[in-house]
Structure 1
């Protein structure tokens, strides 16, 4: 059994300005950012999001078999916690190369970082930090104070990135 690393961020105390350079650098290099809401929550875009999420998830330790497309839509999109504004996309030359998906859990009072990932050829450029910055801004603008996430303990790069942003171990964990 895996002892997952459970992290949370106090969005009210998050310092956007400290991470703004990552967003500016990405934009200066030709990367653009949009949301699924702005791109359009269409069947084609849902398929593209699935394909991107599947590709980015391939490196997660012990990930196992990824959802089928039908399972993904049923469990991640056609649910009350899904918001197209919470799907941040990084685009290079018209191709979706990175994503950060955040769900809103009103009954539990927190947002959840479902997945942040960048395709392998585009890693190492600070795009995950830029995507996560935009996701945190989405959480804040949605009126939530807490953003939670969890990671496999061997997913060191994701854990380090979240800790760099100010995520701490979840209380009570």
Structure 2
């Protein structure tokens, strides 16, 4: 049985100024950031999000087979916790190259980082930090004070990225 790494970010204590340079760098390299809400939560955008999420998830250790499109829509989009404003997308030209999807869980009083991913050819430039910063801003704007993330213990890159942002091991 896998012992998942459970991380949590204190939104009130998060200092975003330390990470704004990644957002500026990405924008100056021609990447524009938007949300599913701004793009329109329509079938074409859902398919593009699915394709991006599937491609990025292929590198996650222990991930196993990815959802079919219909499973993805049923389990990740057509659910009460989905908010198209919480799905950040990085686009270069017409290509979706980065994402960070965050769901809101008001009854448990936390936001959940569903997935942050960058297509392999676009990694190593801080793009994951940039798109995650936008997700954290979304969480803050919605009044949430906690953002949680779960990772397979072998997903060292994602764990390191979140710890760099200030995520700590979740307690309780």
The TM-score, its normalising length taken from structure 1, stands at: 0.98
**C-alpha root-mean-square deviation of aligned residues, in Å?**
0.5
Question: Which residue number corresponds to residue 116 of structure 1?
Answer: 116
SS in 1 for 2:61: coil
Structure 2 unmatched runs, 5+: none
Question: Which residue number corresponds to residue 106 of structure 1?
Answer: 106
Question: Which residue number corresponds to residue 15 of structure 1?
Answer: 15
SS in 2 for 1:12: coil
Q: How many angstroms apart in 2 are the aligned matches of 1:28 and 1:48?
A: 24
Question: Which residue number corresponds to residue 142 of structure 1?
Answer: 142
How far 1:112 moved relative to its partner? 0.1
SS in 1 for 2:73: helix
Q: Deviations over 1:81-100 (max 9, x none)?
A: 00000000000012100100
Q: How many angstroms apart in 2 are the aligned matches of 1:93 and 1:123?
A: 17
Number of matched pairs: 172
Q: How does 1:21-36 map to 2 (within 5 A)?
A: 21-36=21-36
Q: How many angstroms apart in 2 are the aligned matches of 1:61 and 1:156?
A: 9
Question: Which residue number corresponds to residue 126 of structure 2?
Answer: 126
How far 1:167 moved relative to its partner? 0.1
Q: How many angstroms apart in 2 are the aligned matches of 1:60 and 1:147?
A: 20
Q: How many angstroms apart in 2 are the aligned matches of 1:98 and 1:18?
A: 20
The TM-score, its normalising length taken from structure 2, stands at: 0.99
Q: How does 1:8-87 map to 2 (within 5 A)?
A: 8-87=8-87
Q: How many angstroms apart in 1 are the aligned matches of 2:95 and 2:89?
A: 10
Structure 1 unmatched runs, 5+: none
* Structure 1 residue ranges, 4+ long, deviating more than 3 angstroms after superposition: none
Q: How many angstroms apart in 2 are the aligned matches of 1:90 and 1:124?
A: 15
SS in 2 for 1:71: helix
SS in 2 for 1:102: strand
Q: Deviations over 1:114-149 (max 9, x none)?
A: 000000000001000000000000000001000000
SS in 2 for 1:100: strand
Q: How many angstroms apart in 1 are the aligned matches of 2:107 and 2:79?
A: 14
Question: Which residue number corresponds to residue 95 of structure 2?
Answer: 95
